[in-house]
């Protein structure tokens, strides 16, 4: 089995521009290239786990998202960074309990992480989830990963409980990657 870094996309890898599929607007967050390179060099698979409700909300099509995914894979490949998988949930969040659909893939549910782990033969106990909101942390904890929250101002609710407590609170992606690598050496 392999170890992996599960990565939120918006606000973690790229600047959070709501419902964006326009490649000309994509901007990498500080430290992402250096951090991903170091993690990959240390033997981690890199897997993106993302909520993409814009599809079900009619804001963009699945084809438009697939084009963005291909663009991001190509962008990282220019720096010899391999994105092993890109898993996304197309469902929108329910505003009311009666509108809730039976979805196990929308973070904070762990479904996408569990799917990726099964398909890519990943050891969840040796893996990490990095995100910018506590729903990312919760998905990682519930899947059995260690977790890092990048405290970049995107988390606004701060609803804490045992499954929403990250193993580490990072200032940026570079800080997150350094922490993981320091734990790997221990």
Spell out the domain ranges in the chain.
4-185
Q: Which residues are catalytic?
A: 8, 10
Element (H, E) at 22: none
CA 15/CA 165 separation, integer angstroms: 23
169 exposure class (CB count in 10 Å sphere: 0-12, 13-18, 19+): middle
CATH 3.40.50.2300 fits 4-185, yes or no: no
Tens digit of pLDDT at every position of the chain (186 positions): 999 999 999 999 999 999 999 999 999 999 999 999 999 999 999 999 999 999 999 999 999 999 999 999 999 999 999 999 999 999 988 664 555 567 889 999 999 999 999 999 999 999 999 999 999 999 999 999 999 999 998 988 889 899 999 999 999 999 999 999 999 765
Cβ atoms 69, 92 nearer than 8 A: no
What is the residue-wise DSSP string for 63-129? HHHHHHHHHHHHHHHTTT--EEEEEEE-PPPPSSGGG----SSSTTS-HHHHHHHHHHTB-GGG-EE
Say which DSSP state 53 is in.
T
**CB proximity list for 97: less than 8 A, separation 6 or greater:** none
State how far Cα 171 lies from the chain centre: 16
């Amino acid at each position: 089995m392999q170890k992996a870094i599960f990565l939120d996309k918006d606000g973690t890898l790229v600047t959070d521009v709501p419902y964006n599929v326009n490649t000309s607007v994509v901007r990498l967050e500080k430290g992402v290239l250096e951090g991903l390179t170091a993690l990959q060099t240390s033997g981690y698979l890199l897997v993106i786990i993302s909520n993409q409700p814009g599809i079900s909300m009619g804001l963009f099509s699945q084809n438009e998202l697939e084009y963005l995914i291909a663009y991001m894979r190509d962008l990282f490949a220019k720096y010899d960074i391999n994105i092993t998988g890109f898993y996304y949930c197309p469902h929108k969040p329910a505003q009311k309990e009666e509108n809730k659909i039976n979805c196990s893939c929308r973070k904070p549910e762990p479904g996408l992480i569990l799917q990726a782990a099964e398909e890519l033969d990943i050891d969840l106990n040796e893996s990490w989830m990095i995100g910018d909101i506590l729903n990312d942390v919760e998905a990682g904890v519930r899947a059995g990963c260690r977790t890092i929250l990048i405290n970049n101002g995107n988390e606004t609710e701060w609803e804490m409980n045992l499954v929403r407590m990250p193993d580490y609170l990072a200032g940026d992606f570079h800080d997150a990657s350094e922490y993981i690598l320091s734990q790997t050496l221990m």
